[in-house]
A = this chain, B = another copy of it.
């Protein structure tokens, strides 16, 4: 039994309220029994906590789907350690795999920590901090058992695994509870320190899209992570755009589409700094989906934007019709903070024509400082340049 007890009917001591405010504070009562837990290190901590909170959020009786996810050490980028999540160990990447859910769905993700303990120890900022990798998610529902934090013990030591349960809670017309459809993200919350700062800096993050039944489906989706040291998906300058003219491979470093395709962006902020996401030639509605139906009476009131500030932890997304009205071309996508874009925080959305061809004659070289000339991007420590 817990010492924490909240009992009603005595005015709260703090937060005095003016006369008109609703009557009835709350009283907190002392509860006699105080449970003392002897927690023996991180392992004991995790063990001690198992089963003390519900494993699954209300509404998820049983997972609808199961995913295996692997946390893996990837080749270093210069001196910077790189870690990634993957649906297989071989395909781990930064950002990690895009997750998609539909409201009402419950997803069980078993995270396997394949990152060597020595690597985690080297990233640790405090010798007392436990070693492990976790999965913390934004937007959807999860219990403390799936919080991915140290204090809830919901992380995974090297060589171990743990199942996290995410519930894309739908709207509840009776209670008025909101749904969870949106553009979200997931990330480590443990590597290096209690907020996973070193895990994030190394690459342990990815996008999550929760759709509402009836939402339009995009033709392709790109996660775009704006982070420290002027990085897009942890790259800078030429490294942000590796599209080969002859054999372009769409992915985090090759944003490409055909005119008329519905391109979806999941835009995520990580690290320490504010950024502004700007895309040339395209704009979107500042709504949940980036779109707005014309018939609706509020359509006139919705801001249409082509530049949006985001800070660490923020995520938003939108569906765009590639090249709508503006046609094919190499459309810049960059942070509009000038010293960020000048340092290489800039890439391209390459829009081909409806036949899949790029009109000739267009050099798409990035004029920003090439990544090769720049120091390795290691967003782990705080900086403002």
List, sorted by A's number, 18 A–B pairs whose CB atoms are closer than 8 Å: A3-B358, A4-B245, A4-B350, A15-B223, A15-B250, A35-B361, A49-B362, A57-B327, A147-B331, A195-B334, A197-B341, A201-B338, A276-B314, A292-B301, A297-B297, A303-B316, A309-B311, A339-B382
A339: which B residues are within 8 A, CB to CB? Answer: 197, 272, 381-382
- Given the contacts A194-B368, A304-B288, A356 and B6 also touching, CB distance less than 8 Å: yes
Query: Which residue on B lies nearest to A194, using beta carbons?
Result: B367
A62: which B residues are within 8 A, CB to CB? Answer: none
A195: which B residues are within 8 A, CB to CB? Answer: 334, 338, 341-342, 346, 368
- Given the contacts A327-B143, A357-B1, A13 and B311 also touching, CB distance less than 8 Å: no
A267-301 vs B, CB cutoff 8 Å, 1 = contact: the mask equals 00111111110101101111111011111111111
- Shortest C-beta distance, A240 to chain B (Å), equals 14
A76-117 vs B, CB cutoff 8 Å, 1 = contact: the mask equals 000000000011000101000111111001010000000000
Alpha-carbon separation in the docked complex, A304 to B295 (Å): 22
Query: Which residue on B lies nearest to A197, using beta carbons?
Result: B338
- Given the contacts A142-B326, A302-B301, A309 and B307 also touching, CB distance less than 8 Å: no
Number of interface residues of A (CB under 8 A): 184
- CB distance A97 to B15 under 8 Å? yes
- CB distance A18 to B65 under 8 Å? yes
- Shortest C-beta distance, A204 to chain B (Å), equals 13
Alpha-carbon separation in the docked complex, A273 to B275 (Å): 9
A374 located at the interface, meaning its Cβ lies under 8 Å from any Cβ of chain B in the complex: no
- Shortest C-beta distance, A376 to chain B (Å), equals 18
A102: which B residues are within 8 A, CB to CB? Answer: 20
A61 located at the interface, meaning its Cβ lies under 8 Å from any Cβ of chain B in the complex: no
- CB distance A149 to B258 under 8 Å? no
Copies of this chain, complex-wide, total: 3
- CB distance B28 to A311 under 8 Å? no
A122 located at the interface, meaning its Cβ lies under 8 Å from any Cβ of chain B in the complex: no
Chain B CB within 10 Å, residue with most, of A86, A101, A301 = A301
Alpha-carbon separation in the docked complex, A116 to B218 (Å): 48
A59: which B residues are within 8 A, CB to CB? Answer: 325
Q: CB < 8 Å: which of B35, B171, B300, B360 contacts A288? A: B300
Query: Which residue on B lies nearest to A253, using beta carbons?
Result: B14
Alpha-carbon separation in the docked complex, A316 to B93 (Å): 36
- CB distance A15 to B98 under 8 Å? yes
- CB distance A3 to B150 under 8 Å? no
- CB distance B222 to A34 under 8 Å? no
- CB distance A292 to B356 under 8 Å? no
Alpha-carbon separation in the docked complex, A100 to B316 (Å): 30
List residues of A (173-225) whose CB comes within 8 Å of B's CBs.
Answer: 173, 175-182, 184, 193-195, 197, 200-201, 212, 217, 219-223
Alpha-carbon separation in the docked complex, A152 to B364 (Å): 8
A162 located at the interface, meaning its Cβ lies under 8 Å from any Cβ of chain B in the complex: no
A105: which B residues are within 8 A, CB to CB? Answer: 20
- Shortest C-beta distance, A89 to chain B (Å), equals 13
Beyond contacts A16-B97, A143-B327: 10 other A-B pairs, Cβ-Cβ < 8 A, are A5-B357, A18-B65, A26-B250, A48-B361, A179-B304, A180-B304, A182-B283, A193-B342, A286-B303, A298-B301
